[in-house]
Structure 1
Amino acid sequence: MAIPVPLTHERGTSKSPLYLPFLSGFYEHFAQPLAWVAFRAVIGGMLMIEGYPKIMAPMAQVGFVENLGFHPGWLFSPLLAGMQFFGGALIALGLFTRPAALANGVMLAITLWFHFAFPYGHAFLTDQGIAALKGGSEFFTPAGVKRLADGGTLFLEQVQTKAELASLFWMGGALFFAAFGGGQWSVDRNIIKREF
C-alpha cells in the first residue's frame, strides 16, 4: 500500500513536495511496497521464531498463562503458541494480515505489561554469593565473573530493558499492520483481492 504524497497547489498546478520529483514513481511503486514487505517479514518472522519453541511444546505455557489469569491453561497455552507461530507466518505473508496482527498486538501488549509488572529482579547473587564469586571459584568463567561482579544487577537491567523494548517494538509493528493491512505486495491484496 503506497502512502499518498500530498500535493500543494500553486497557481492551479500541482507541485511535488519531493526535492527530486522524478523519484516519486520509484518511491510509490517500488521502495514503499518493498519497505512494507520487509517490515512485515521482520514482525512476522520474529513472532515465528518466538512461537516455534511453543509449538514444539504447546502445553509448556500452561502455568504461565494461568498465572496471568487466562483459564483454562490447557486451552490458552496452545492458543498462544499457534497465535505466535502461525499468526507470525500470516503477517509475514500478508494473508489475513489485520486479524492476525491484531491478535498478536493484543498478546504483545499483555507481554509488555507482564515485563513491567513482573521485572526480572534486582540481582542474581546475594551479598554472600558476590563474596564467594570474588573469593575465586572454578565454577565461573572470567566472563561470568565480570558479568556477575555486581551480583548480576547491570546484566538483569539490560535484560529487562531489552525485553521491554522488544515487546514494545513487536506490539507497535503488529498494531501497525492491524491498522493498515498487509500492503500492496501482500497475499490479501494480490491473490485474494480482499482485506479485512
Structure 2
Amino acid sequence: MADQTTSARSSLVIPALSPLYAAGTTGAETLLRVLAGVLFAVHGFGKIINPFGAVGMVESLGFYPGVFWSPLLAATEFFGGILLAIGLLTRPAAVAATIVLLVTVYSHWVVKGEGLGGAERSILWSAITFYFAFRGGNAHSLDARIGKQF
C-alpha cells in the first residue's frame, strides 16, 4: 500500500498537493452525487405532480402503454433522485437513472435527429449516474451509515 501512495505522490507535478487531493476526493465525490440526485429529483418534480403528463412523450418514443410508463418515469426521476442524493440504495437508484438518461440520449440523438449536440447533456448525466451505479454510496451516504450496500 505504501508503494502505491509513494508512486501516486511521485507522479504529481506538485507532490505537496497530495494530501489535499486525498482529503478532497471523498468530498468531491459526495458533492457530485448529491448534486446529481438533487437535480434529477428537481427535474422529476413536475412529473411527480402530474404523473400522467408525459404519456404522449413516452408513447412517441415507443413505450406503450404510456399510462404505465409515464408514472414510472416520474417516480424514477423524483424518488430515484432523492435516493441518489441521500445515498440510500445508491446503486439501484443510479442504475434506474442511467437507464432513463440513456433513453433521453436515444430520444435526442435518434428520434429528434439532434445528434451529439442535442444528446450531449444526457450523455454527461448518464456517465455520472453510471459511475455511481458501480461506485455506490461513499462514506458520506446512508448506505455507509447503515453498513449495507446493494
TM-score range, shorter chain: 0.7 to 0.9
TM-score by length of 2: 0.86
**Residue deviations 1:13-34 (CA, integer Å, cap 9, x gap):** x7352112872xx544x41111
State how far apart, in whole Å, the 1-side matches of 2:18 and 2:60 are: 57
User: Normalized per residue, which structure has more helix?
Assistant: 2
Once the two structures are superposed, the pairs formed by residues 1-196 of structure 1 within 5 Å of their partners are 7-8=3-4, 15-18=6-9, 19-20=15-16, 23=19, 27-28=21-22, 30-119=23-112, 161=117, 163-190=118-145, 192-196=146-150
In structure 2, the gaps of 5 or more residues are 10-14
State how far apart, in whole Å, the 1-side matches of 2:138 and 2:129 are: 13
| RMSD of Structure 2 on Structure 1 (CA) | 2.3
Runs of 4+ in 1 over 2 A off after TM superposition: 5-8, 14-17, 118-121
> Residue 8 of structure 2: SS of its match in structure 1?
coil
Partner residue of 2:12?
none
Which structure's relative contact order is higher, taking Cα pairs within 8 Å and 6+ residues apart? 1
Indicate conservation of the 8 Å contact 1:91/1:100, yes or no: yes
- The aligned length equals 145
Letter in 1 for 2:37: G
Letter in 2 for 1:93: I
State how far apart, in whole Å, the 2-side matches of 1:173 and 1:62 are: 27
> Residue 89 of structure 1: SS of its match in structure 2?
helix
TM-score by length of 1: 0.67
> Residue 121 of structure 2: SS of its match in structure 1?
helix
In structure 1, the gaps of 5 or more residues are 9-13, 122-156
Structure exhibiting the larger radius of gyration computed from Cα positions? 1
Question: How many percent identity over aligned positions?
Answer: 34
Letter in 1 for 2:107: F
